[in-house]
Structure 1
Amino acid sequence: MDLIKKIKKFPFVLAPMAGYTDYPFRILAREYGASLVFTEMVSVYSVIHHREKVSKILYFTKKEKPIGVQLFGNNSLLFYEAAKICVSLGFDLIDINFGCPANKVVRTKAGAYLHKDLKAVEETIKNTVKGAGKIPVSIKMRSGWDDNNKNFLDIAKIAEQNGVKIITLHPRTRLQMFKGKSNWEHIKKLKEHSKLFIIGNGDVTDRESAYKMLNETSCDAVMIGRAAIGNPFIFKEIKDKSYSPTFNEKINIAIKHLKLLYKFKGKRGIMEMRKYYSKYIKSIKDASEIRKKLVIEDDVEKITGMLKELKNN
């Protein structure tokens, strides 16, 4: 499979993250070497009935390819039509979210809730694979609902029997959310029991931990999420042991990120950029005070000027 061949060349991919992995973020991740990127998760209902409303989530360019779209929902039948639409839009991979632990998602019986309903998991996979046609389907899941209900191997078996090509495992339970340590032994166990392409995810924060996951679990690739926020450099750091971004480079990328967001989302983009400043400038003296000044400004040129003034600091 061409997509898997591409990932194997540099087996480090960007995780789908709600509120983060939009077009500007993905562009930067690809520039710094991520072999695969994903959209933010998007509901199958919205893809079918409110395409205009989620057009920003579904937007991508050739520069980002290969790119996957991550779908979630509680109606397995809708995954068929949503997958067909996503194929027509040109996505390279259709990913099913069985792992989101957020209350607002779980309350609708979507995301990680589906660890409690394996029949729904099976129907969702079947419909997605059918709708995707020749485009590969992946799933992203957790270890299980709680410590007494760890069913990732059961879901993997269902996935393998019904045409899924890639599995990403975040080895925490839903009740853990993002607390405690992820259990990499579950990734290792999954790799031992499944013939599919396995991507590990969880607690990868730098080059050392990325390769540690590969080596300890024998997974085929590593997915990086929170550690890449405001830090697209992590992919280049993993690839090149001698590379370390200078502060000036971080500022240049922060400016590029800001301008991409502004061009893509207008004033809303300026507001969304505020959550990234602390990441880009954290190594500088008085970073907290500087961030406070940046987040109250809403003029893109003024912010650009403020960021430029930090260079060579």
Structure 2
Amino acid sequence: MSASLPPGTAPVKAEFLISAKHIDVPDDDAAEGKTGHAPDTADKREDDRDSGKKRKDKSKRGANKGRRFAKMHDELEVCWKTANGQTCEFGDKCKFTHDVSAYLAAKPHDLRIPETSDISNESPFYTPTPFTVTDPQNPSLDPHTKCPLFEATGSCKSGLKCRFLGAHVQKTEDGSLSLITDEDKCARTAISETEQNYLHPEARTKLHKKRYEYPITDRYLKDLESQKVVIAEPEQDEPDWVAKADAASSAGGPSGTVAEVVPNADALVAQRTGAGDQMDMSVDVPLRAEEKKRLHWEGKTYLAPLTTVGNLPFRRICVDYGVDITCGEMGLATSFLSGSKEEWSLVRRHPSERMFGVQLAGNKPNTMVRAAELIQNEAGGNIDFVDINCGCPIDLVYKTGSGSALLDSPGKLGRIIVGMNKALGDIPVTVKLRTGVKDGRNNAHKLMPRVSEWGAGMMTLHGRTRQQRYTKLADWDYVKECVQSVRVYEAEKNLPRAPIFGGGDCYSAEDYWHNVESTGVDGVMIGRGALIKPWIFTEIKERREWDISSRERLEHIRKLVDYGLNHFGSDTPGINTTRRYLCEALSFQYRYIPIGLLERLPGRLNERAPAFKGRDDLETLLASPDSRDWVKISEMFLGPAPEAWSFMPKHKSNAYESQG
């Protein structure tokens, strides 16, 4: 029985136990040692901002420096324009071939993505049908394949480079191949399937040449220098509103609700002061209510901005499971300002994302406000909020004065919030914080009331300090104290009510609703819980624990593959980029212990898994900590991984020598 398991081990039923010895706990702190979503880009982006240090020296330090994901290409590469039936303006000077026949002769044969009904629950799970040449002139074509892009939109952006080419090509009278376009489907899906927030080439050119203009930022910075803008910093001693919140927390009823602290808090709709006005750069001019969108997020679910795994395909999966609010991966303000393609890919939005935001990290008003103005100009129509990262704990970010370092620089943070509010027009600014920098020195209860006054439209508080990372449980009692401090201050200053979300260790519907009801937060931002079980949003909406089957999880993986190919492309590079991010997702999802195997519910995020088997072979495979098995799962849908391709997870304890 599970009573014999070591303390802190998940209580798996005896019939499913292989051994009482637990599987090594993945080191989430070490895994988060790298900020970027692409190999080496994070280190380069951070090093670009680090004066006096040579990149070659710094590149050898930190976690996950050995992760390399070489981009895979066809043996013979055809010009993109030629592949899409267009004329290349470079002609013979183009470095890619224009010989379509030669390209198709050398091109790997088409792939088929099986339906989940074709995959068994028992080993060996799936045996692909051997490829048969049906057209000797075009031996790589498979007329029975289906292209995910063509099925979704009626056309395929990869053209002749598509690895499912047989699905959308036909022979012409002269024997050549012609791409097929379903015009009706293209028209029907133009809005529902077209990704948003691409940086215009003209704007990118201006950024590269440093000719982009920032009139709002320039005026704001000029007023800062002339001291026309005054940012009132939090008091060092305990302010009155903190003492009142503490008293209310001690003397309040069993629920300790915000209504006990501020009975009329929900009715506060006065104009917020300190947010500024785009026409008058003095911060003591209140922002008119109609100029700034209000965030009514009470009762909504929020997927945290997540590095690496929190890309657009993964967010689409979470939308399918019911999440209301999504946010792109953390982006560096300086990289946005340089026109970095990698950084601008972070703001890409799918139309299915109902409420979407961008998260910025930076350490200076001049870069953060400029980045906000740039985002407003180039993507403002498709962004609902911009979040300031004041919580990232990793050294690469913290040592530059960004992320959680801003918790100890309230004056600088105030100047950033006020300036970004001016630059973003009606787009709200939100702030994500931790409880403090060091253990025993929590300061969020002093900082958050002023963050609200400076103009934040919403705040999220992760219940740990920067020093704690993930090593201790989140302090939800302190989250409650901070909520009460903000509500008292809002009442005293006649400020409108800003939503507050908490965060930390939320892994079930029970966790979610307990934290909402006991602390007064408006919701809980879900991070690791969503990485391990993206269906947590369905559980929260339906207030139940979902004993999801291996078959349902497989369907989820198949859908993630489709979304990945739609986003990254269906050519050889797109196939293997999709494979990489699928393996990244599985490197978290294997940690899920099916609740049908547990003696007590709900499961806990920080409980260690013993060695166990599933209710069928497929469930056992999905629980494997071996990264080779994640690659095997990817091969069910994307065909064999190329010999030169390998996957090293962020959690290196899951890597094996055979993975290189």
How much does 1:85 deviate? 2.6
Q: Aligned to 2:631, which of 289, 292, 295?
A: 295
Letter in 1 for 2:553: K
Secondary structure at the counterpart of residue 302 of structure 2? strand
- Please report how far the alpha carbon of residue 187 of structure 1 lies from its aligned counterpart in structure 2 after TM superposition: 1.4
Residue pair 2:462, 2:504 contacting (<8 A) in 1 also? yes
SS in 1 for 2:314: helix
Pairing 1:76–2:370 present: no
Match of 1:201 in 2: 503
Corresponding residue to 2:424 among 105, 129, 132: 132
Q: Distance in 1 between matches of 2:640 and 2:349?
A: 26
Aligned with residue 96 of structure 1, among 381, 388, 399: 388
**Cα deviation per residue 1:57-76 (whole Å; 9 max; x = unaligned)?**
11112211211111001122
* Residues 261-306 of structure 1 deviation map (CA, whole Å, 9 limit, x = unaligned): 23323122211211222555655124428852442687653279xx
Question: Contact (CA 8 Å) 1:278, 1:288: kept in 2 or not?
Answer: no
Deviation, structure 1 residue 80: 1.6
Q: Which amino acid aligns with 1:209?
A: D
Q: Distance in 1 between matches of 2:630 and 2:640?
A: 6
Aligned length: 302
AA partner of residue 301 (structure 1): L
2:476 equivalent in structure 1: 184
The structure where strand makes up a greater share of residues is 1
Read off the aligned partner of 2:352 and give its amino acid letter: K
Letter matched to residue 211 of structure 1: W
Change in 2 beyond 3 A, CA 1:149/1:293: closer
The answer to whether the 8 A contact 1:86-1:94 is kept is no
SS of 1:245's equivalent in the other structure is coil
Kept in 1: contact 2:510–2:543 (CA 8 A)? no
- Deviations for 1:215-259, whole angstroms, at most 9, x for unmatched residues? 111111111100101522100011114554332111111111123
Per-residue CA distance 1:161-210 (angstroms, 9 max, x = gap): 21111010001111111111111012111211114211010111111100
SS of equivalent to 2:563: helix
Contact in 2 for aligned 1:199/1:219 (Cα 8 Å): yes
Match of 1:254 among 549, 557, 582: 557
Instruction: Report the counterpart of residue 353 of structure 2 in structure 1.
Output: 64
Aligned partners of 1:237 and 1:244 also within 8 Å: no
Q: How many angstroms does 1:23 deviate by?
A: 0.6
Where 1:168 maps in the other structure, the secondary structure is strand
- Report the AA paired with residue 85 of structure 1: L
Bigger CA radius of gyration: 2
**Percent of aligned pairs with the same amino acid:** 26
Whether 1:285 and 2:620 are equivalent positions in the alignment is: yes
Letter in 2 for 1:18: T
Letter in 1 for 2:566: K
Give the partner amino acid of 1:285.
Answer: T
Give 1:222's aligned amino acid. Answer: V
TM-score, reference length from structure 1: 0.89
Any conservation in 1 of the 2:430–2:458 contact (CA below 8 Å)?
Answer: yes
Unaligned 5+ runs, structure 2: 1-291, 488-497, 569-573, 593-613, 642-660
Report if the CA contact (8 A) 1:3-1:66 is conserved: no
What is the DSSP-based 3-state SS (H/G/I as helix, E as strand, rest coil) of the residue aligned with 1:101? Answer: coil
Q: Give matches, 1:1-313, under 5 Å.
A: 4-5=295-296, 7-8=297-298, 10-88=299-377, 89=379, 90-195=382-487, 196-241=498-543, 243-265=546-568, 266=574, 267-280=576-589, 283=614, 284-286=619-621, 287-288=623-624, 292-295=628-631, 300-302=637-639
Question: Contact (CA 8 Å) 1:297, 1:303: kept in 2 or not?
Answer: no
Identify if the C-alpha distance between structure 1 residues 294 and 221 changes in structure 2 by more than 3 Å, giving closer, same or farther: closer
CA RMSD of aligned residues (A): 2.3
User: Match of 1:70, SS?
Assistant: strand
Structure 2 CA distance for partners of 1:277 and 1:147, relative to 1, 3 Å: closer
Mapped partners of 2:557, 2:633: distance in 1:
15
> Greater CA deviation, 23-32 or 237-246?
237-246
Tell me if the contact between 1:254 and 1:280 (Cα under 8 Å) persists in the aligned partners: no
Alignment-mate amino acid for residue 203 of structure 1: D
Quick one: higher RCO (CA 8 Å, sep 6+), 1 or 2? Answer: 2
Secondary structure at the aligned position of 1:288 is classed as coil
- Which deviations, in whole Å up to 9, do the C-alpha atoms of 1:20-79 show, x marking residues without a partner? 211111111112111101100001111121242323211112211211111001122122
- Pairwise CA distance, 1:109: 1.1
The AA in structure 1 aligned to 2:584 is K
**8 Å Cα contact 1:144-1:150 kept in structure 2:** yes
Return the alpha-carbon distance in structure 1 between the equivalents of residues 305 and 372 of structure 2: 17
Answer whether contact 2:304 2:327 (CA < 8 A) is retained.
yes
